[in-house]
Amino acid sequence: MMTKKTKKILTLPAVENQLLELRAGDMVELSGTILTGRDAAHKRMMEYLDKGEALPFDIVNQGIYYTGPCPAGPGKIIGSCGPTTSYRMDSYTPRLLDLGLKVMIGKGQRSPEVIEAMKRNGAVYLAAVGGAAALIAQCVKKAEVLAFEDLGPEAVYQLQVENLPLITATDCRGNNLYEIGPSKYKL
């Protein structure tokens, strides 16, 4: 018999006790302010940090959504904004987690190094449903470019979201839905 999981409410910027309550497999409705960033933005962030410069935005207790939004159509706040594959940011992520990043949103598995950094820093990884980009865009109430405008859709945006539906893929203890889920069906 399956037990019904309750939906967790998460508001960003992150509050530590909210993150501690999340367990791998929990459904989450996320509201608040999140950043966006894909490969090019992450590479640029590392260039800033390698030069000893501060990032042009605050990541402490913040969440970053691995997406490159499409341009907004007439009367729209943002275009489709589905998740990109998260492992492409894995080489950059432990450093950002050590600097205070608390929530990552994307799709697919994360490396053991990222999961260790999540455990060390009390961070979580939330999965967004691939293929639902237009529906996800409906949760965005405000969007503005914060940094790296020259990167176009890969610029860092600040999004105000309401009730963004997500799944806790990896909790801050390192429990990983990508391992837990398949293990239930092994013979």
CA distance 160 to 66: 15
According to the model, what pLDDT value does residue 1 have? 39
**Residue 24 CA, distance from chain mean position:** 15
105 exposure class (CB count in 10 Å sphere: 0-12, 13-18, 19+):
buried
What is the pLDDT at residue 181? 72
pLDDT at residue 48 in the model = 98
- Whole-angstrom CA distances from 116 to 26, 74, 76 are 20, 43, 39
> What tens digit of pLDDT does each residue of 67-104 get?
999 888 899 999 999 999 999 999 999 999 999 999 99
Q: Which domains does the chain have, with CATH numbers?
A: 28-176 (3.20.130.10)
Active site residues: 42
Centroid of chain to Cα 73? 24
- Give the predicted TM-score (pTM) of the model: 0.92
pLDDT at 186: 62
Condensed to tens digits (0 to 9), the pLDDT of residues 20-52 reads 999 999 999 999 999 999 999 999 999 999 999
Question: Is the Cβ–Cβ distance between 63 and 34 less than 8 Å?
Answer: yes
Give me the mean pLDDT over the 137-156 stretch: 95
> Virtual CA dihedral for 186, 181, 104, 30, nearest 10 degrees?
170
φ, ψ (nearest 5 deg) of residue 75? 75, 5
Q: What is the amino acid identity at position 54?
A: A
